[in-house]
Amino acid sequence: LAELKIELIAVGDELLMGLTLDTNSNFIARSLAKNGFRLAQMRWVADIGQNIHQALSEAWERSDIVLVTGGLGPTHDDLTRPVIAGFFGDRLEPRDDIRNALLRRFEKRGFTPAPGWEVMVDFPTRAIPIPNGHGAAPGIHFSQDNRELFAMPGVPGEMIGMMEDYILPILKKKSTGQYRYRVIKTVGASESQLAMLIGDPGKLLPVSLAFLPSNDNGVTLRLSLYSNTDSGESNSLITAEHLVSKAVEPYIYCKDESTIESVIIERMRKEGLQLALAESCTGGMIAARIVDVPGSSDILNRGFVTYSNEAKCELLGVSVSSIEQFGAVSAEVASAMATGARERSNVDIAISVTGIAGPGGATDTKPVGLTYIAIAGLKGVEVQRHLFAGSREENRKRATFTALSILFDYLKRR
Ligand code: ATP
Ligand code: MG
């Protein structure tokens, strides 16, 4: 089953200088994957005619589909149009339909175009203009020897419109197969632990298995299979999912688009439980993740951001003496924070986090990344000690996810 080989070229000095984050490539890669395709290759090219030509010629040589984004506009640094025409041995000629469409657009918006706009009327004679629903310059579609080139503007909204309305439908018509995916999201086991539990991934073939670890969502396992477009749900994908699920069962938190926070909220809502948070080093990150989910008000009563010692004492009733004796980053203070938050909010469960996010703040006995997370419920309080080893941001994200996973685990055991 031959797979369409799709390649992407993103044009623009600003991408290579790190001034613009290349969200276009990310969008294109994602929307291809969502539609059962896969990007085989991508590259960045500067606004230099020769370089664009070179990239184009290499891509056209080896791929069925070449996608280009950027450099279609009217300014001197927009070289994609003439380079494409030159590459195909074509020439640019003014097209009345494009001129009229542009004039209509200017009139409708009531503005006088900047001088030089007419450059956009010049179009390769053998190409098809891709309608631009969100801007001026049309995209370029070249079709030759059963291969396609699609050039889109760099402006994200214009690129997205062309991908969705014009390019994806053509790709779907051309392709005979598609990738199908299943995800299994886990928490509480490392990549290597999961790999050990699953064993030889060869037994899943023709399904392939990928491990996707992250700071803020645990390890996601992704199963993928390339198969006929019209074959329904493939048995081998279902079998592989069963095998893997069985092997890692205790660690699964969902097998769909859900997040750990949405799973937690669902569960707490069902059981009629209320939550309070007491955050120090995470500074509200746990609350933000929970509040991101629509309907979180059903379970979240309040969150305290108690960054200073005074706040821990005043708002949560932590005793001055325990801070003096054990320090703000300690099992004792974490427990007192969780208990205090639970009692003062009159809720079922409270979670607290106190830690040293870094880069400063370490002492001889307490390194950067040291974090205590406590959970207080009906049956008392439990506290865990963690040592994270990342940057300030990574440590805070890890602490946030770990707190959520402790809560998830607590609900499971209840
Ligand atoms: P225009 O008609 O605006 O000149 P264009 O096709 O020439 O469109 P560019 O000049 O390359 O596109 O870029 C236009 C805008 O789109 C810029 O603001 C640029 O930062 C943004 N842009 C370009 N490429 C990308 C990309 N890969 N990801 C995100 N934004 C991008
Ligand atoms: Mg431009």
Measured in Å, residue 155 CA sits from the centre of ligand 1 at 4
Q: CA 387, 390, 394, 396 torsion: positive or negative?
A: positive
As a whole number of angstroms, the distance between CA 396 and CA 91 comes to 56
Tell how far CA 98 is from the center of its chain. Answer: 37
The three-class DSSP label of residue 185 is: strand
Q: Is the pLDDT of residue 411 over 70?
A: yes
Measured in Å, residue 81 CA sits from the centre of ligand 2 at 11
Ligand 1 atom closest to Cα of 20?
20
Contact 263 CB / ligand 1 (< 6 Å): no
Q: Give me the percent of the chain exceeding a pLDDT of 90.
A: 87
Cα angle 214-220-226, degrees, rounded to a multiple of 5: 125
DSSP label at residue 250: G
Measured in Å, residue 153 CA sits from the centre of ligand 1 at 6
pLDDT of residue 232: 65
Contact 139 CB / ligand 1 (< 6 Å): no
Mind listing the pLDDT tens digit for each residue in 292-332? Answer: 999 999 999 999 999 999 999 999 999 999 999 999 999 99
Contact 22 CB / ligand 1 (< 6 Å): yes
Tell how far CA 357 is from the center of its chain. Answer: 24
Beta pairing partners, 277: 303, 351
Q: Sorting pLDDT into bands at 50, 70 and 90, what band is 271? A: very high
Measured in Å, residue 128 CA sits from the centre of ligand 2 at 20
Mind listing the pLDDT tens digit for each residue in 282-295? Answer: 999 999 999 999 99
Minimum-distance ligand to the CA of 136? 1
Strand (E) positions, 170-270? 177-186, 208-213, 219-228, 252-254
Q: Write the burial class of residue 295 (CB in 10 Å: 0-12 exposed, 13-18 middle, 19+ buried).
A: exposed
Is residue 63 within 8 Å of residue 5, measured between CB atoms?
yes
Average pLDDT over residues 351-373: 95
Average pLDDT over residues 187-214: 94
Contact 69 CB / ligand 1 (< 6 Å): yes
Cα angle 42-45-49, degrees, rounded to a multiple of 5: 135
Choose which residue among 9, 20, 44 to substitute to test ligand 1 binding: the one with the highest number of ligand atoms within 8 A of its C-beta. Answer: 20
pLDDT of residue 66: 98
As a whole number of angstroms, the distance between CA 228 and CA 222 comes to 19
The enclosing H or E element of 396 equals helix 392-413
The closest residue, in CA terms, to atom 1 on ligand 1 is: 73
Is residue 79 within 8 Å of residue 154, measured between CB atoms?
no
Omega of the bond leading into 359 within 30 degrees of 0 (cis): yes
The closest residue, in CA terms, to atom 18 on ligand 1 is: 155
The closest residue, in CA terms, to atom 24 on ligand 1 is: 154
pLDDT of residue 277: 98
Task: Give CA separation, 362 vs 284, 356, 367, 370, in Å.
Answer: 22, 7, 5, 9
CB under 8 Å, gap of 24 or more: what pairs does 390-393 form? 390/215, 391/358, 391/359, 392/357, 392/358, 392/359
What phi, psi does 374 have (nearest 5°)?
Answer: -120, 150
Task: Give the pair of three-digit tokens for residue 228.
Answer: 């006929």
What phi, psi does 159 have (nearest 5°)?
Answer: -65, -45
Q: Write the burial class of residue 204 (CB in 10 Å: 0-12 exposed, 13-18 middle, 19+ buried).
A: buried
Q: Is the pLDDT of residue 1 over 80?
A: no
Mind listing the pLDDT tens digit for each residue in 21-57? Answer: 999 999 999 999 999 999 999 999 999 999 999 999 9
Contact 70 CB / ligand 1 (< 6 Å): yes
The closest residue, in CA terms, to atom 15 on ligand 1 is: 155
Contact 138 CB / ligand 1 (< 6 Å): no
Mind listing the pLDDT tens digit for each residue in 91-140? Answer: 999 999 999 999 998 999 898 888 888 888 999 999 999 999 998 889 99
Q: Is the pLDDT of residue 233 over 70?
A: no
